C-alpha cells in the first residue's frame, strides 16, 4: 500500500507523543491530518479512535496512527469501524508483522508503555513494511 496521507489522533494521555510523531511524519514528507485532541485536557479515547477509524474507512487517509495510554482502548474503538485493522504495537517486530501478516492500516501505541525512541522505531517499521499477501491474504479477507 502506498502511504502518502496519514491521519493521526490521540486522547489526552497520548497528546504529547502524538505531537512528536506528527512532527516525525511531516519531517518524512507525509501529508499528515491531525484529528485531535489538541491538549492534555481530559477527553474520551473512544471518540478519537472512532473519528480516525471513520476517516480511514471513508478514504480520508491511507493509514493512521492512534495514541492513548496503552494503545488498547483507542484501538478497540477504531476496530469497531468496518475496514479498519488497528494493531496495538509494542515494538518494531509487532509493528512490522502487523503490516506483513495482518495488513494493518492503523497502528495504535501507548504513551505510558513505550519510550519515545521505541515509538519512533515502531512508526518507521509500520510505514516501511508492506503486506506480504500470499497465505495471509485469505486470513485478512476473513476479517472484513
Active site residue ranges: 68, 101
Q: Are 78 and 86 in contact (CB under 8 A)?
A: yes
Question: Which residue shows C-alpha cell 480516525?
Answer: 52
Phi/psi at 86 (nearest 5 deg)? -90, 125
Q: How far apart are CA 45 and CA 123, in angstroms?
A: 20
Amino acid at each position: 500500500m502506498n502511504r502518502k496521507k496519514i491521519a493521526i489522533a490521540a486522547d489526552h494521555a497520548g497528546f504529547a507523543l502524538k505531537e512528536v510523531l506528527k512532527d516525525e511524519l511531516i519531517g518524512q514528507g507525509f501529508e499528515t491530518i491531525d484529528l485531535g485532541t489538541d491538549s492534555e485536557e481530559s477527553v474520551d479515547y473512544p471518540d478519537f479512535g472512532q473519528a480516525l477509524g471513520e476517516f480511514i474507512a471513508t478514504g480520508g487517509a491511507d493509514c493512521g496512527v492512534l495514541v492513548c495510554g496503552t494503545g488498547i482502548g483507542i484501538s478497540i474503538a477504531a476496530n469497531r469501524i468496518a475496514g479498519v485493522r488497528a494493531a496495538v504495537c509494542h515494538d518494531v517486530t509487532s509493528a512490522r508483522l502487523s503490516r506483513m501478516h495482518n495488513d494493518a492500516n492503523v497502528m495504535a501505541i501507548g504513551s505510558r508503555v513505550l519510550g519515545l525512541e521505541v515509538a519512533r522505531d515502531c512508526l518507521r517499521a509500520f510505514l516501511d513494511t508492506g503486506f506480504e499477501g500470499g497465505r495471509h491474504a485469505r486470513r485478512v479477507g476473513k476479517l472484513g
